Amino acid sequence: MVCDKCQKKVGKVITPDTWKSGARNTTESGGRKINENKALTASKNRFNPYTTTFEKCRICKQVVHQVGSHYCQACAYKKSICAMCGKKLMSTKNYRQSSA
C-alpha cells in the first residue's frame, strides 16, 4: 500500500502485461515506450541483492521486503499509511484493522 507520489518509485516488471486493463507496464497506459529495452534503461528499478539493503520497519522492527520502504506491509495496512513515506492514506476510525 503506497501513496500516489511513491507509486512511481516502485519497481516495474520487464515483461509487459498486455492482457490486464490498467496495468502500469503496457504501452497503452503510458508505462512503457515502444522498442524500449528495460534491461538497459531500468537498472535503478531492478532488484540487486548485493548492493541494496533491506531496512527494518519503524514500528515492529521486522525486516521490510521492499527496497526503499520504511514500514512493513502489515504495519502499513494496520495504520493505513504509505509503506514508503508514512503518509496517512485514510482514516481508520470506523474500521477494524487486523492482519489475522
What pLDDT, in 10s, does the model give residues 1-10? 788 888 877 7
User: At 76, phi and psi to the nearest 5?
Assistant: -65, -35
Read off the pLDDT band of 60 (50, 70, 90). Answer: very high
**Residues facing residue 81 across a β-bridge:** 88
| CA–CA dist 15, 70 (Å, integer) | 27
Q: Is 61 left (phi over 0), alpha (psi -120 to 50) or beta?
A: left
Is residue 48 pLDDT above 90, yes or no? no
